[in-house]
Amino acid sequence: MTFIIFIISYLIGALPLSYFIVKIISGKDITSEGSGNVGTLNAYLVTKNKIIGISILLFDVLKAIFALWIIKSIFGITFQHITVASIGVLIGHKFNIFLKFKGGIGLASALGLVLMINYLPLLIWGIVWVIGKIITKNMDKSIISASIFSIILIWIMPESYLNIFNSCIILEIKEIRILISIINILILLSPIFYKDKTKN
């Protein structure tokens, strides 16, 4: 069952809408333009079209939400199911079988996952990202900083804070901390950070 959950989630996470939208509208291959990232920012930088960028952002958020909803509906809510599904979605987005295993960092997909679980880690990540962007003036460094600090803060904050921000998939506090840590680690492991690219 674990393998089936992973495959379903992976295929949903790998849906390459951003590639096709950019290809159809601009004729460009988003995997070889700009940063090579198939996410929101690179789609905007490649096409100079805000509507396309926003559309891809929403799609990547919604496909993660849809994946967890499907797994929840078919297999039920357990920590193992939700964790495997979350990993599957992010791996599918980052290492896309339909795009020769190219992909993106997975920020929008991670956003969709966190929205289904607990809102507080999202607020923490966003605040740290803004501070990091102001200080470093660098997109990659601010993303890395936000992910690292999110992992640290999610483990040291009081349980009562996390309970206030529970979403529709209810997990135990320890499970939330583990899952949010896994999501952030997967963001940090993105190969997008370690290649030459257009400055953001």
pLDDT tens digits in sequence order for the chain, 200 residues long: 899 999 999 999 999 888 898 888 888 888 888 878 888 888 888 888 888 889 999 999 999 999 999 999 999 989 999 999 999 999 999 999 999 898 888 999 999 999 999 999 999 999 999 999 999 888 888 999 999 999 999 999 999 999 999 998 999 999 999 999 999 999 998 755 544 444 33
Domain span holding position 45:
2-194
* pLDDT given for residue 194 in this prediction: 43
89, 115 in Cβ contact below 8 A?
A: no
Those residues whose C-beta lies under 8 Å from the C-beta of residue 157, and which sit 6 or more positions away, are 120
63 lies in some domain:
yes
User: Quick check: is 125 in a domain?
Assistant: yes
Q: What are the distances in angstroms from CA 191 to CA 9, 27, 95?
A: 21, 25, 10
| Residue 175 located in a structural domain | yes
Q: Count up the domains in the chain and report the number.
A: 1
Distance CA 59, CA 75 (A): 24
Residue 18 lies in a domain: yes
pLDDT for the residue 119: 93
Amino acid letter, residue 28: K
200, part of any domain: no
Residue 199 lies in a domain: no
pTM (2 decimals)? Answer: 0.90
Residue 21 covered by a domain:
yes
